[in-house]
Structure 1
């Protein structure tokens, strides 16, 4: 297949590109800069100049492809609602180029807040959220698009990660303490970046319209376990923070650090024969690359 990939030069997107190329697919990657374009070309992909805000570039990229993987998102937590609206418009634009064709459109979503306090599954539907990726994608099924969703774990980990866990490490380094909220028993799901990339390919090739797939290997790593490893590697104490103290200690991360959001990928593994095989989050942290 010739696959148009947004976010193709990013942390997750670059792994998806390598997974696709390594299994015989052709890749047309969205590139918003010359550096991104050169990275894609060096990887063996074709660069497609544009951005999420350049809707014409999205439309042309999707029209030139047999399928689309939408892995880009504007993670600006100071303008999260605007990012959600921009993503919705991008997905609708991609879908308009695929309407009536039955071609696949795979959209990335998240698991944060899906099923707080219990194990979330693919059958759960998300509540109201500024991130509109999932409803925007699934609305396209009625337009003849084989649209489906990959919900990624809160931590997608590997060398080069710039997400939640590195933020926790930086906070602990700056504050001189590795903290968790309350008893620290709340859990985050996690998945290795290469396992996630493999899932995207399987969902592109074999996924069904309207499906929700879970990119989850570790169903739930407790915040206390994370804090203990961070504290040991940084040589700082580990301590509990009350919910009232969390906002000052964690800043914008406070809303996520206290969430208990374990998730399962049992149905995804059964439906797509996807079996995560790379190291888990705690083993990845213990290797030390996150602390260099």
Structure 2
């Protein structure tokens, strides 16, 4: 058996049957779309939650069965009937001032999804978390899973995702193990999140390097995240958290410049002192609070914390406990983006099950 490409065929406990039907929340999103591609290619049946007809059409095109429903409705348990595993990938990822809706989606939504999964007889769940649960604006240097949650999270996204992770892991039991994965800076082919935002910022002249952009960042190619989800289903222990990355960290400026260059964009040379950016972010928080969100602000402490300081992660635990090894290198992922951008035939990838 090729564990790297078909980890769902492995037996999770040594006694239980392989997972054959998986329910995915956030199926029409960037991570969800690629998870559907991965599991469908490996022969696993997928049911994906869809809030709109457009989302339903998208997941059907990818080979999944669409279940029309809302993340905040317990009725989603009906869509999980017959499924034996869950991947909870849906989240409100806005890095702005935050809204009550973000808390409801991330925290209440996770609670409802986990309760529905247990009611439906799901045997194992994977919760897609984020390294941002540790973000407070200070550098995170080679941190591992023992790092505590900060007393003052960077913003609403960090706060609500930390709450969601706690909810997910609190639902874990021997009969219903829940595993949390924390990827950082998810990127790659079909990216509808980070790369489009960077391209727009560069083209509009709004992109500048903070303190030169030389600080390190960890990254997670979408294929590597799909690999990690499959391995977590097979080998992850309930109640545990695992960081997932591409391996060694890279200077933020180097990586973002490489991403932009795959789209034919020359990276900017502008640099802004970190103190200035921090002050602008603090001011944005104050203005957003005073206006109760009515005024759009250019930067928040949440955005600052995830892009202006070093965030490098230790994936030793995932390697040891899950058998995780990145299946695509950073350079291979960049090559793929270049070929997609130029319309050339796609390059060979070591884990085609993880890719479109």
TM-score by length of structure 2 reads 0.71
What residue is the counterpart of 1:136 in the other structure? 167
What residue is the counterpart of 2:141 in the other structure? 118
Alignment map for 1:243-254 (pairs within 5 Å):
243-246=274-277, 247=280, 251-252=299-300, 253-254=303-304
Give 1:167's match in structure 2, choosing from 197, 207, 229: 197
| Closer, same or farther: CA 286–45 of 1 in aligned 2, 3 Å | closer
SS in 2 for 1:238: coil
| Distance in 2 of aligned mates of 1:114 and 1:285 | 31
Give 1:80's match in structure 2, choosing from 98, 104, 115: 98
| Distance in 1 of aligned mates of 2:76 and 2:331 | 34
User: In 1, are the aligned partners of 2:247 and 2:326 still within 8 Å (CA)?
Assistant: no
SS in 1 for 2:160: coil
User: Once the 2 structures are TM-superposed, how far is the Cα of residue 273 of structure 1 from its aligned partner?
Assistant: 1.6
| Distance in 2 of aligned mates of 1:170 and 1:285 | 21
Alignment map for 1:232-247 (pairs within 5 Å):
233-235=264-266, 237-246=268-277, 247=280
| Closer, same or farther: CA 235–66 of 1 in aligned 2, 3 Å | closer
Q: Is structure 2 residue 228 aligned with structure 1 residue 190?
A: no
Structure number with higher strand proportion:
1
Give 2:45's match in structure 1, choosing from 26, 36, 52: 26
User: In 2, are the aligned partners of 1:58 and 1:94 still within 8 Å (CA)?
Assistant: yes
User: In 2, are the aligned partners of 1:227 and 1:238 still within 8 Å (CA)?
Assistant: no
User: In 1, are the aligned partners of 2:80 and 2:122 still within 8 Å (CA)?
Assistant: no
Q: Is structure 2 residue 232 aligned with structure 1 residue 213?
A: no
| Distance in 1 of aligned mates of 2:29 and 2:122 | 27
What residue is the counterpart of 1:257 in the other structure? 307
CA RMSD of aligned residues (A): 3.0
User: In 1, are the aligned partners of 2:198 and 2:260 still within 8 Å (CA)?
Assistant: no
User: In 2, are the aligned partners of 1:187 and 1:260 still within 8 Å (CA)?
Assistant: yes
Q: Is structure 2 residue 30 aligned with structure 1 residue 11?
A: yes
Greater shift, 39-48 or 1-10, is seen at 39-48
| Closer, same or farther: CA 144–81 of 1 in aligned 2, 3 Å | farther
| Closer, same or farther: CA 267–242 of 1 in aligned 2, 3 Å | same
Q: Is structure 2 residue 76 aligned with structure 1 residue 58?
A: yes
Q: Is structure 2 residue 126 aligned with structure 1 residue 106?
A: yes
User: Once the 2 structures are TM-superposed, how far is the Cα of residue 215 of structure 1 from its aligned partner?
Assistant: 1.9
| Distance in 1 of aligned mates of 2:320 and 2:304 | 35
| Distance in 2 of aligned mates of 1:66 and 1:264 | 31
User: In 1, are the aligned partners of 2:210 and 2:274 still within 8 Å (CA)?
Assistant: yes
What residue is the counterpart of 1:146 in the other structure? 177
User: In 1, are the aligned partners of 2:188 and 2:334 still within 8 Å (CA)?
Assistant: yes
| Distance in 1 of aligned mates of 2:117 and 2:169 | 13
What residue is the counterpart of 1:157 in the other structure? 187
| Closer, same or farther: CA 145–230 of 1 in aligned 2, 3 Å | closer
Q: Is structure 2 residue 120 aligned with structure 1 residue 91?
A: no
1:267-288 residue CA offsets vs partner (Å, 9 max, x unmatched): 1022112211213179618954
TM-score by length of structure 1 reads 0.85
Give 1:271's match in structure 2, choosing from 315, 321, 330: 321
User: Once the 2 structures are TM-superposed, how far is the Cα of residue 196 of structure 1 from its aligned partner?
Assistant: 0.7
Structure 2 alignment gaps of length 5 or more: 1-19, 154-158, 282-296, 343-356
